[in-house]
Chain A
């Protein structure tokens, strides 16, 4: 067995959740700088601040709006996610989020749900266009990057902190390199430990961020909270972004199709049935 590699770790709260960074050959100052980069990007991508880049883009619906490199890359990734998921991962979900009462951070409580205002979502390519340095959101549409942003940011952090690092942003994680002992990074997935090396993992769930009969995971086919017979899905895939997309899609397609979908798109997976099944 090769000798263990010294690993620096750093834990902090950001993006409304808990975050952890692990890296071999990196200093505490470098991990702290990575935390700052998460905070800076999170402040630009949140929908809960009227001053964020995302909110300004939503405010500019109906006309082209100048955006930074990171948001441009993330919007292009979101369009890929729409294709990968056959339309089930759609970031043009903000009107539905507002309709179900998710109008502010849940730490402040949900507001009254107005489900009659929810509508099936338009296909993302119909309402979002991206060109170099600018984006256009159709009038009446609005974006919420949700878990997509966390998986995508975890992948970017691993690029920065690599070649031997792990970034976990609220359960959406990416692991690159040989890990502490040369066999990859030991990561907990559904109670088991899996060795991840050049992989990502994510969990999509309707057990958290729910209030009353409402949960935060919107089914684009109805514009309403998901009710598919699955309550939680954990996935290992090629990266954090891809894992997030596959986990969310599997949860939305439901128990009949999720097994086959995961077999085609995931490297490991766990399907948790709905609690009332």
Chain B
């Protein structure tokens, strides 16, 4: 008898949890104030500088400087 009660209780609890979850999910389909795009996509993609013969694009992880370079990249 006790076993039967436990099984019935577990079954009821399962159905109740499923029903509550279904109600919650269907009433929260989306967050109307959520941003349309992830923030990372709107992060600055880099700065553009005038350079001889074209434009130099510098991403946020590289810092431009006014220092004199110790060496350069070049075509060899």
Contacts and interface: CB of A to CB of B under 8 A. Distances in A.
A170 B45 CA distance: 29
Chain B's interface size range is 20 to 34
A273 interface: yes
B25 interface: no
Given A194-B58, A268-B46, A268-B57, A187 B73 contact: yes
A273 B76 contact: no
B75 A193 contact: no
Contact of A208 (B55, B61, B66, B75): B75
B73 A202 contact: yes
Contacts of A185: 70
Contact of B53 (A18, A188, A272): A272
B9 interface: no
Contacts of A188: 69, 71-73
Given A187-B70, A193-B67, A270 B56 contact: yes
A25 interface: no
Interface range for A: 35 or more
A270 B51 contact: yes
Interface stretch (A64-72, A84-92, A111-119, A259-267): A259-267
Given A171-B76, A208-B76, A180 B70 contact: yes
A170 B71 CA distance: 11
Nearest to B72: A188
A29 interface: no
B26 interface: no
A189 interface: yes
A190 B68 contact: no
B32 interface: no
A272 B73 CA distance: 14
B67 A189 contact: no
A181 B67 CA distance: 11
A186 B73 CA distance: 11
A13 B58 CA distance: 31
A184 B71 contact: no
A205 B64 contact: no
B63 A184 contact: yes
Interface in B3-37: none
B51 A193 contact: no
A203 interface: yes
A269 B56 CA distance: 6
Given A194-B58, A270-B56, A205 B66 contact: no
Contact of A203 (B49, B57, B62, B74): B74
Interface of B: 45-46, 49, 51-59, 61-76
18 contacts: A171-B76, A184-B63, A186-B65, A187-B70, A189-B73, A190-B52, A190-B53, A190-B54, A192-B49, A192-B51, A192-B56, A196-B62, A232-B75, A236-B62, A263-B46, A263-B57, A267-B62, A270-B56
Question: 8 closest A-B pairs (Cβ-Cβ)?
Answer: A188-B72, A205-B75, A170-B76, A188-B69, A171-B74, A201-B73, A190-B51, A17-B76
